Amino acid sequence: MLDVQNLSKSIDKKSILSELTFQVATGESLILLGENGSGKTLLINILATLVEPTSGTVSIFEMNAFSNLKQVRPHIGYIPVGFEGYPDLSVVDYLNFFASAYKLEKQERSAAIDTVLELMDIQHLRETLIGVLSNGERQRLLFAKTFLHEPMLWLLDEPLTPLDPRGQIEMLELLRELQAMGKTLVIATNRLEDAYKLCGIGTEVSPQTDYLGILKDGKFAVLNTIRQLQQEQIAKNESEDLKSNWLAELYLEVTKS
């Protein structure tokens, strides 16, 4: 579904991402973990076709993404880390705008908007101006907007960060549902506590084919299935059980200077 080969990106002659190669199949997830400046958000933006790489290729459904933008972009759902703009638009007007941009037929738009409002449980905000929404409500609106065109590849930058505890629980359940629907997820975070939660989203769906990639200085310090990484940590600790801080131990081990 998503195939990245030898991807590099330099800005002002400085290498930001270097020779990244990975694949994520339909229904699988890739969690990207790394500190600020490691290249996570830039990689998400490249996969979203918002930034062109310096070298290498990004293929979606076996199509070169940057050579086939019109064919590829309808398959992409991009959720940025923050929601800015449109403060004077109501929720329904915002969704109408994007439904039109996604070229939904006029007679289909009302039903589609009602569906995504119900799906994200924000029907009661239908006429509310975006400028007065809470962070959690804006996050739900972003998901509602993205659901309108039913993309197969979801790219999410820090999806848990703006949410309170209840919102995080609901978001994790939504991510599990997306994966159960066969969606491909690439999720970036720099928060270790969020990474622990995100590493469990595929437990009941595809535990052996969900991946964790730890980025350091624009390269993968580690890239493997979550199941395999957990088993390796169990073996290193000569224990039958996985330590609760297994990810912290792994992160410190692979990112040390």
> In 10 A of CB 54, how many CB atoms?
15
Q: For 92-142, give the DSSP string.
A: HHHHHHHHHHTT--HHHHHHHHHHHHHHTT-GGGTT-BGGG--HHHHHHHH
Cβ distance 155 to 76 under 8 Å? yes
Q: pTM for the whole thing?
A: 0.91
**What pLDDT digit, counting tens, does each position of 46-62 carry?**
999 999 999 999 999 99
155-191 burial: b if 16+ Cβ within 10 Å, else e: bbbbbbebbeeebbebbbebbbebbeeebbbbbbbbe
What is each CA distance from 127 to 88, 118, 123, 138, in whole angstroms? 11, 14, 9, 14
**What pLDDT digit, counting tens, does each position of 111-142 carry?**
999 999 998 889 999 999 999 998 888 888 99
**What pLDDT digit, counting tens, does each position of 169-209 carry?**
888 888 888 888 899 999 999 999 999 889 877 555 454 56
Residue among 150, 152, 151, 160 nearest 188 (CA): 160
